[in-house]
Structure 1
Amino acid sequence: MKQFLVVFIFFFLSFDVACQNKHVSYNKADLEEVVKEVENYFSIRFSYNDAIFKSQYFTYKGLLNLDIFLLEIELQNNINSEFIDAKNIVLTTKQQTISNYTLDEVLVVSEYLTSGFNQNEEDGSIVLSPTKMGVLPGLVESDVMQSLQLLPGISSPTESATNLHIRGGTPDQNLILWDGIKMYHQGHLFGMISAFNPYITERVDIYKSGASSKYGNRISGIIDMHSATDIFTKTAAGIGSNLLHSDAFLKLPIIKNELGIFIAARRSLTDVFNSITYRKLGNKIFQNTKIEDNNQQVQEEELRILKDQFYFVDFNAKATWRISEKHQLNFSSLFVRNKLDYANANLEGMTSNDRLNLQNNGFSLQSDNWLTKNFKLTTSINYSDYKSDSSLLETNTEDNGSYNRTNSVQDFGIIVASEVLLNSKNKLIFGADYADYDVAFTIDFVDATIEDEIQNNTLHTTSLYAEHVYNSSKWHIRSGARMSILSKLNTTFFEPRFYADYQINPVLKLKGSGEIKNQSISQLITFEFDELGLDNNTWTLANDSEIPVLNNHQLTGGFLYDKNNWKVDVEGYYKYTKGLTTFTRGFTNATNEDYFSGQSTSYGIDILVKKRIHRFRTWLSYSLSKTLFNFGALQASNFPGNFDQRHVISFSNTYKLKQFQFSLGWHFATGKPYAQPSGTRSFVNVDNQVENALVYDSQNNARLANYHRLDASIIYDFKLGKHKKTKARLGLSFLNVYNQENEIDKSSVLEGDTTQIIEETVIGLRTTPNILFRVSF
């Protein structure tokens, strides 16, 4: 094995050295791809705004020489180049200069994984460009949330696209923004795909740690999505479909260089077309629920399905108005909806109707004003409206029963932010934001013997933040703080933030960060009153009694090595979180208490090793981590967190050959913990009846089997029409190629009123194909 590794590494290194001196031939090649290849050839870094590469092509044949290349792009593409130092070059258009850039306009980036995955060299964040993303393992088209799971430190133990766990945090602890709109529901098909259209999402900034002080009220990762802010110069449109949904978008210039709009929509085919992809996903989603049980009874002719409708839709619209060279106005809106309507009847005449409606709508209005070339003022208003409404109605000849459960969040915010470029190395960022939260939760029962539950809470937060940014050829330092005042709680929180990296030499960089964060809105796991069991996450606000404000401290440190198309990124971290509740973590216990308070400690190391050889990329991401919970009133000793997975490995490969793109990836993870009962106990309830309950010696005392699967994708790009101006794409993907039966969850229940324990296991996706066809023009 060791000999094989030596030969393998020698082959890659020798092949790379040989390629450095080869002649190249570009014929109307995509300029951004060429720039990345040149960057790797000479081990240099280009800094640029992605917009300068739009509809830009490059033609050249001969020996690849850096000086000649820079001269050619100046002549062919009207692009200036300026050396910051021997290894860093800034690319700008003829109309731009370096002095009037701010951090969000020029990104010092280098390719991180593959096409569309970059790293911001100034703050360590990952910059994802969905519209430019290459093929990824198991994906027939780019999915913003699924793509992030290829990064070390980000995982989804339940195979969900949206329930992301970032370095020991839970999904509700992540701040997810789309054009400034806070998202409280991010998925379709119960989280199997994300609700964000990749064809109109221009850029995604991902922070696992070291986030700017402008981000608040979440204690874990940050996923900040942006749509295009430039004015469209010509009409563009696209339409496509896979085996789950169809989509279309239109970008339309209204007034040349002044006003442009775009609209985009996606709708599922699940209620009109029972594709193999939907059947595979449905088998996983509806396991151990009423739907799975009823389907079995239908086959046995004991039940009739009266209605089985499920669909999702999302819609985006944006208008950009460039009032003048120094003033721009952006209006964005989105509509996300999932709806399920399921009804059945048995032989005795009993009918049952389950309904679920999930939606997250919102808008944002942002005004950008460049008061001087070095001073930018941004004012924005944002609103998010989330609602989950589920109901059950049961009817028979003698009696009716029903319950209705709703959870809603109305989030309104105002932000005033400014950036001052003091000189070429120093910048100040400061601002204020106000947020108003209105959160409601109700459960209504038709049975008068069961007490209804109604909660309606409001909270206002006012925050001030400031930070200083220093950038030089050796140092990138961002230091700042955030202060927040919470109404009703009469509490003030101070949150210092710090990030720094130091370039030791052209190929090695050290980095580190420290931060304190607080969170006043989070999700609770409630008891499942319905048999459907598909929507039991509830948003609620912190109060001064049972639910405290979450508080997190995090430290990170590591290094980045980048040479000869090799990239090695290593970062260790330590996180301490307090203010957790048992409902928040969804523990299984046999007590009658409602809430237990506790803390968690997470620590680990994330490693990425990547190699690029022209159009072939291979990378290995590995996370070693440990998350422990401490709930003294529930259990005296520490125990593993619900989603603690010690080892998570992804090995991925992509290759581009002319019009084809290929991708193959293998994913491995150790099993997550679950609670295994040791027996049962009997007790007398409030109605003086004897009941049985499960007994647990300790929490999360067992683990699922190890998880592994192989994913593959292939994409073919071509052009249609007489003049070959219409772009077309065919795609084919497979999840879990070798059909591995993976355990992703396990629980225990009692059989009726007996003491017999039944173990229910949830199995992950089996082999799941998907096919894509789309055109754009």
Structure 2
Amino acid sequence: MSQNFRAQSNPTYIGLNTYLNILEGQYDVVFSYGDDYIKSSSVAYAENLKNLKQYLNYLREQTPFKYLVQSESNILVIQKPFKKTICVNVINEITQEPLTNARLKIDSYIYKSNSKGQFQIPIHSKVINFKIFAEDFITQQYTIDTSLERECYERYISPFYQELDEVVLTNLLTRGIQKIASGGLEINYKEFGLLPGLVEPDVLQSLQALPGIISSKESVSYLNVRGGTHDQNLFLWDGIKMYNTSHFFGMISAFNPYMTQNVRLIKNGTSAKFGDGVSSLIDMKTSNTVADSLNVEIGSNLINVDAVVEVPLSYNSSLELSSRQSINSLWESPTYNQYFEKIFQNTEVTNFGSPSVQQNDDFCFFDTALNFKYQITDKDFLKVNMFYAEDQFALERFDVDGTRVNIRSSNLEQTNFATGLFYKRKWSNKTTSHFQFYSSLYNLNADNTNLRNQQRLDQINEVRETGFKINIETQLSKQFKIENGYQFNETGILNSEEINDPSFFRETQNSILTHSLYSQLNYSSSNSLLNLSLGARANYFSKFDKFRLEPRFNLSYEFTDDLFLEILVEQKNQVTSQTIDLQTDFLGVENRRWVLSDPESRPVVESQQISAGLNFIKPNWFINLDFYYKAVDGITTQGQGFQNQFEFVKTHGRYDVKGFDVLVNKSFEPFSGWVSYSLSENNYKFEDLSPSSFPNNLDIRHVISTGLSYENNGLKLSAGYNWHSGVATTLLSENQDQLPQQIRFESPNAERLKDYFRLDFSTTYTFKLFRSVKAIAGVSFLNILDNSNVYNQFYTIGDNESIHTFRQNGLGFTPNVMFRLRF
């Protein structure tokens, strides 16, 4: 073949149908072909050809098709004659999952795997030789004797050895949940099965099925990992820290699961390249794969409608866009009403109690995300992304008092806007660099106006963060890899309150610069029995003018073919946290404010954690046992949500939590069953309080979860039972004044609310609606038995100077329905 017909020395492969579309636009011709056999073929993109004739000659040599010129504007594409076609199924050797983004090269022809990881290859000889290659996998050569008749030949492909520190051990609970050798857990939403009570895969609700993770308030904005508060989790969306993680005040996550490819949860042993998040890392990633065809999906449930569109812009770039909008402005569904009742119970929204009062309320949420992906060369990749989420709530209340009408207007708005730029460069097979620049902006605004007396209260909480990160990975040998990097963050937080009558204004505005250097050495033995990571992160906080060193240790050792040992150790610091000044802040609905650590009044939050665990793995069996101890220092009373004698006390202290998690998972196709149990003890230590030591507000001693899922021929069923012992609570003292000005309490958190239990069910069915349209329909039921689960109890002094008891309940029986189309 002449030089003119050669592809690039480092070729970029695109779908043949995409390539033909490019030529159609360039030369004003039409290619006529059958989609079924064209869409499985790929071709190396060639840019140096001068005319259509050269392109056609190139395609004749590089693809298994004939290109017959019918007229000046019409070209017929037909298959070259072959004796027969065989099926080859390519499988990830580690995860045992089909690889849907692989390429197969036989002679000069290149094929692309379908959604099942399969190739349909026309052959002309008894024995064939071919290569299979995919991004981040080792290119491997295979031989097949086609005289050995099989329905589909299976071939396995291995990840690059530098990725072995993230080996997947097994799927957990349902398809798509995986445990990695470094101690973390990962959920792949492209391959996700079904969990009880979730008709769709909510990004953060899915995590609560895992041991050691619970939301005591049935809210994804109160996610507690091993006894920590929600703000002690580091939430990253494509590497950008997110300061608001939910819609509908915690009822659903703010991140569209159909845009999110996977989520990784690290409870301990975090890589040194991550700082912050003293309780956990929750790392959400969108896809980095450049689309070579148009993909569209739209769907709706009883809360929102959404759409995701992925469109190729050229052979090496594509754009992905998602959008989601609440539907309660059109119809307030039973699901919406259940959510609304739970959220606004015992707040100003529902506590009016007079028959003369009428009110109108309006709530909506919206989110959108955009990803631009550009594979510049086979070594250079660029990604630009944007995320925006918004929640709005408006309330107008009319109180008729004789001839006077008192009108009260309240508004609450939350927004979260994030942008990022990511650039990856492969300098060689051993060295890769990553650069990222990002910006995150969070706003919470509330106003409360009494129109009769013209009194207005405005409250604002704003977080602005910008930063960049450089990470360099170098494979020193087959056993050793080293990561080094630098990260810079500038975080600014504003809090303000203003009252017009009587005139009052308070504003605090602080910022902090964080410089971080880190290094981590990863070792994997030649037999892969031992994986070890040693790392450290040095943080310099400008406001404190001091360095904080964070050591990291992660060991995984395979004793036998079935038994693995894990030992994880880490130390972390964080300078942002949430606080509650008054329970009635922001209408009592979202009363937490972000604040920065301060040398005078608010120390840096610091955690130390160690855990040891055993993993027993056999075909269709997984048993995990983890013991852990975590100490977190620098917490404040304002950040704990006290509603007892310490509600207005301002001091700082610590908490210590120790416990263990057990998970047993048994798969017996097409079923998967599991049971998990967690035991923990979580205690505060505040030197300035009396008593100084008492149970944590999040001290839930016993947690049991069990479930069973079924998946076969497009039908998915999942049922589960959740139980945990009662949350710690403080009771009233029997010795109260006749007309109390202040409530007296018994010992803090000395008693328990009643035990919590909930039975959930969900089912979905996937079927072909048309030739190229797939439909998914489903239904779910939360709390089938409609059990009354009290998760909080508190007391206030009413207008008549009597003490009132309030209880907050979880969701009652809550149905949901979904329908989705994929084109």
Answer whether TM exceeds 0.5 for this pair.
yes
Distance (Å, rounded) in 1 between the aligned partners of 2:168 and 2:674: 22
2:439 pairs with 1:383: yes
Q: Which secondary structure does the structure 1 equivalent of 2:588 belong to?
A: coil
Alignment partners' CA distance in 1, 2:510 and 2:692? 34
Answer yes or no: is the 8 Å Cα contact 2:683–2:694 preserved in 1: yes
Q: Where do 1:624-663 residues align within 5 Å?
A: 624-663=679-718
Structure 1 letter corresponding to 2:742: A
Q: Is the 8 A contact 2:641 2:647 kept in 1?
A: no
TM-aligned CA deviation for residue 471 of structure 1: 1.4
Kindly report which structure 2 residues correspond to 1:143-162, keeping only aligned pairs within 5 A, or say none: 143-162=202-221
**Structure 1 counterpart SS, 2:741:** strand
User: Residue 468 of structure 1 aligns with which residue?
Assistant: 521
- Cα distance per residue 1:273-297 (max 9 Å; x no partner): 1101101111111111222234x64
Specify the code of the residue in structure 2 equivalent to 1:498. F
Q: Is the 8 A contact 2:446 2:586 kept in 1?
A: no
Q: Pick from 637, 646, 661: which aligns with 1:606?
A: 661
Kindly indicate whether the alpha-carbon contact (under 8 Å) linking 1:374 and 1:422 is maintained by their aligned counterparts in 2: yes
Would you say the 8 A contact 2:498–2:506 is kept in 1? yes
Output the CA distance in 2 between the equivalents of 1:460 and 1:48: 45
Q: Return closer, same or farther for 1:704/1:183 CA change in 2, 3 Å cut-off.
A: same
Runs (4+) of structure 1 moved beyond 6 Å? 28-32, 47-50, 71-75, 78-83, 680-683
Q: Which of 150, 172, 178 in structure 2 is aligned with 1:118?
A: 178
Residue of structure 2 aligned with 1:717, choices 747, 766, 770: 766
2:550 pairs with 1:550:
no
State yes or no: 1:586 paired with 2:615: no
Task: Say if 1:47 and 1:108, in contact at 8 Å, map to a contact too.
Answer: no
Residue type at the aligned position of 1:136: L
Partner residue in 2 for 1:775: 821
AA of the residue aligned to 1:139 = L
Contact 1:679 1:694 in 2 (8 A): no
- Once the two structures are superposed, residues 83-141 of structure 1 have per-residue CA deviations (whole angstroms, 9 ceiling, x without a partner) of 9xxxxx99438xxx736x5469x7545212211101112x1211111122111100110
1:455 to 487, 508, 512: 508
Q: Specify the alignment match of 2:279 in structure 1.
A: 220
Residues 643 and 794, structure 2, Cα contact 8 Å, conserved in 1: no
Q: In the alignment, residue 157 of structure 2 is paired with which amino acid?
A: T
Question: Relative to 1, partners in 2 of residues 1:58 and 1:331: Cα closer, same or farther, differing over 3 Å?
Answer: closer
Alignment of 1:678-717 (within 5 A): 678=733, 692-717=741-766
Q: Deviation at 1:629?
A: 0.3
Residue 240 of structure 1 corresponds to 299
**In the aligned structure 1, how far is the partner of 2:790 from the partner of 2:282?**
28
Quick one: which of 217, 228, 233 aligns to 1:169?
Answer: 228
CA distance change for structure 1 residues 649 and 328 in 2, over 3 Å: closer, same or farther?
same
Task: Describe the shift of the 1:591–1:160 C-alpha distance in structure 2 as closer, same or farther (beyond 3 A).
Answer: closer
CA distance in 2, matches of 1:90, 1:487: 54
Question: How far apart are 1:448 and its partner, in Å?
Answer: 2.3
Q: CA deviation at 1:457?
A: 0.2
Measured in 1, the distance between the counterparts of 2:711 and 2:89 equals: 16
CA distance in 1, matches of 2:306, 2:790: 33
Partner secondary structure for residue 290 of structure 1:
coil
Q: Give SS of 1:642's match.
A: coil
Pair 1:98-2:185 in alignment: no
- Mapped contact 1:546–1:595 kept (Cα < 8 A): no
User: Secondary structure, in 3 states, of the residue corresponding to 1:372?
Assistant: coil
Residues of 2 paired with 1:92 and 1:518: CA distance? Answer: 40
User: 1:114 is matched by which residue type in structure 2?
Assistant: T
1:493 shift after superposition: 0.1
1:595 aligns with 2:644: no
Q: Secondary structure at the match of 1:148?
A: helix
Residue 805 (structure 2) pairs with residue 759 (structure 1): yes
1:146, 1:262 → 2: CA distance? 24
Given candidates 647, 655, 670, the residue that maps to 2:725 is 670
**Corresponding residue pairs, total:** 705
Distance 2:87 2:199 in 1: 24
Do the aligned partners of 1:468 and 1:478 also contact (CA within 8 Å) in 2?
Answer: yes
Distance 1:58 1:29 in 2: 10
SS of alignment partner, residue 559 of structure 2: strand
Q: Secondary structure at the match of 2:543?
A: coil
Which residue number in structure 2 is paired with residue 359 of structure 1?
415
CA distance in structure 2 between the partners assigned to 1:677 and 1:763 by the alignment: 20
Contact 1:680 1:694 in 2 (8 A): no
Q: Residues 417-463 of structure 1, C-alpha deviation per residue, up to 9 Å, x if partnerless?
A: 110011222100010000001100011112326x4321100100000
Alignment partner, residue 197 of structure 1? 256
Q: Which letter maps to 1:751?
A: G
1:46 touches 1:109 (CA, 8 Å); kept in 2? no
Tell whether the 8 Å contact from 2:99 to 2:117 is kept in structure 1 after alignment.
no
Question: Contact 1:692 / 1:753 at 8 angstroms: preserved in 2?
Answer: no
Aligned partner (choices 322, 327, 332) of residue 264 of structure 1: 322
Structure 2 distance, partners of 1:365, 1:74, is 31
**CA apart distance, 1:149:** 0.4
1:698 shift after superposition: 2.1
Q: Secondary structure at the match of 2:351?
A: helix
Counterpart of 1:230 in 2: which secondary structure? Answer: coil
Q: Which residue of 1 aligns with 2:476?
A: 422
CA contact (8 A) 2:132 2:141 kept: no
**Is 2:454 the partner of 1:400?**
yes
1:500 positional shift: 0.1
Classify the secondary structure of the residue corresponding to 1:144.
coil
Residue 25 of structure 1 corresponds to none
Q: Given the superposition, is the C-alpha separation of residues 90 and 441 from structure 1 closer, same or farther in structure 2, using an over 3 Å criterion?
A: farther
Over 3 Å counting, the alpha-carbon distance change for 1:173 and 1:139 in structure 2 is same
Residue number in structure 1 paired with 2:485 = 431
Deviation at 1:373, TM superposition (A): 1.3
For structure 1, which segment, 468-477 or 634-643, has the greater mean C-alpha deviation from structure 2 after superposition? 634-643
**Distance (whole Å) between structure 2 residues aligned to residue 444 and residue 188 of structure 1:** 26
Is the contact between residue 676 and residue 748 of structure 1 (CA under 8 Å) also seen in structure 2?
A: no
The equivalent position to 2:366 in structure 1, one of 309, 313, 319, is 313
Report the Cα offset of residue 588 of structure 1.
3.4
1:277 alignment partner in structure 2: 335
| Alignment TM-score, normalising by the size of structure 1 | 0.86
SS of 1:544's partner is coil
> Following TM superposition, by how much is the alpha carbon of 1:72 offset from its aligned partner in structure 2, in angstroms?
12
CA apart distance, 1:529:
4.0
- SS across alignment from 2:698: coil
- In the other structure, the counterpart of 1:16 is none
* Deviation, structure 1 residue 55: 2.9
Query: Would the aligned equivalents of 2:644 and 2:730 in 1 still touch at CA under 8 Å?
Result: no
In structure 2, stretches of 5+ residues that fail to align are 1-85, 103-111, 120-128, 143-153
Measure, in 2, the Cα distance between the counterparts of 1:415 and 1:90.
38
Task: Give the counterpart letter for 1:613 in structure 2.
Answer: F
State the match for 1:9 in structure 2: none
SS at match of 2:638: helix
Q: Secondary structure of 1:347's partner? A: strand
- One-letter amino acid matched to 2:747: S
Higher-Rg structure is 2
Q: d(CA) in 1 for partners of 2:566 and 2:418?
A: 37
Q: Are residues 1:325 and 2:378 paired?
A: yes
Deviation at 1:750, TM superposition (A): 1.6
Deviation at 1:632, TM superposition (A): 2.1
Q: CA deviation at 1:259?
A: 0.7
CA contact (8 A) 1:482 1:494 kept: yes
Structure 1 390/58 Cα, relative in aligned 2: closer, same or farther at 3 Å? Answer: closer
Identical columns (%): 31
1:79 CA drift (Å):
9.7
- Match status 1:744 vs 2:791: yes
Pair 1:374 & 2:430 matched: yes
Structure 1 position 759, deviation (Å): 1.0
Unmatched 5+ stretches in structure 1: 1-27, 61-70, 84-88, 684-689
